[in-house]
Amino acid sequence: MEDTVYELYYWPHIQGRGEFIRLALEDAGAPYDDVARDPARGVAAIRALLDASPDARDYDGPAPFAPPVLKHGRVALSQVANILGYLGPRLGLMPGDDAGRHRAMLVQLTFADLVSEVHDTHHPTSTQFRYEDQMDAARERAQAFVRLRLPKFLGWIERTLRDVGGPAQMLATGHSTCDLSLFQLVEGLRYAFPKAMAHFEPSHPRVVEVRDRVAERPRIAAYLASPRRLAFNENGIFRRYAALDLVP
């Protein structure tokens, strides 16, 4: 089972939520199959996995609700934090003991909430309608986000890094998926909210320190320079819209 290849099922044209999984697999140097990026399989492979009837499935347990999905043998898991909770101990990127894993999940799920709140800045009323059709509500939500929510999340992250002591990392047990996810959060926030991040970064030095440390890890640096790393764009979670790039 541990030799079984990891298969990632995620939209092939965006970083999106799948990027948090890619970063963990890349940092560990784990071979993985980014299924839908293969044009011969594409997004049809995602639909086939989600929609298969029970007797046509090659995995056990509930069908995942939505991508990203990690498939590993007969295991098929959705939800970023859940996937990282499964991969983390296997890749040496999360403590293996019960309390340690759940503390890491506390961090990953708080990050997941931040990601959802970022998403809702451009889609406050419905994911089914375009940003252009909900711009007024988007501006209201983005304003509340950069003024109230973003500093609350960044403050909590900075404080958690400070509390650990020593080199900046989210868990006292060492480098983890949480640091890799924090790197992605900073990159995404810089892309989507450059003015707000320019405002907040000087007062959150440890957050920036983690971002820089992760960027310099050899496998991550190689990944970021490779064609496997997609560019941010206006179909992902982090989108750059001039109307939402507000000063806190």
Question: CB burial class (10 A; 0-12, 13-18, 19+) of residue 142?
Answer: buried
Do the beta carbons of residue 33 and residue 7 sit within 8 Å? Answer: yes
Question: Rule CB under 8 A: which of 166-225 touch a second copy?
Answer: 170-172
Structure token pair of residue 83: 């996937």
In terms of CB distance, is 95 or 236 closer to a second copy?
A: 95
Q: Least distance to a second copy from the beta carbon of 74, Å? A: 8
CA distance 41 to 206: 41
Beta strands in the chain (DSSP E): 6-9, 32-34, 69-72, 75-78
**Which residues does 167 contact at the CB level (< 8 Å), separation at least 6?**
209, 213
Nearer Cβ to a second copy, position 17 or 22?
17
109 near a second copy, rule: CB under 8 A: yes
Q: Which of 5, 12, 54, 6 is nearest to 37 (CA)?
A: 12
Please report whether residue 75 would count as binding a second copy according to CB under 8 A.
Answer: yes
Query: For residue 62, how many C-alpha atoms fall within 13 Å in the half-sphere facing its CB?
Result: 6
C-alpha span between 131 and 235 (Å, rounded): 10
Does 74 bind a second copy (CB under 8 A)? Our answer is yes
Shortest distance, CB of residue 89 to a second copy, whole angstroms?
A: 9
Minimum Å gap between C-beta 15 and a second copy is 20
Does the footprint of a second copy cover residue 137 (CB under 8 A)?
yes
Instruction: State in angstroms the smallest separation of the CB of 178 from a second copy.
Output: 9
Q: Minimum distance between the CB of residue 14 and a second copy, rounded to whole angstroms?
A: 19
Note the residues at the interface with a second copy (CB under 8 A): 54, 60-65, 74-75, 77-79, 81-82, 85-86, 98-100, 102-103, 105-107, 109-110, 113, 116, 120, 124-126, 128-129, 134, 137, 140-141, 144, 148, 153, 156, 159-160, 163, 170-172
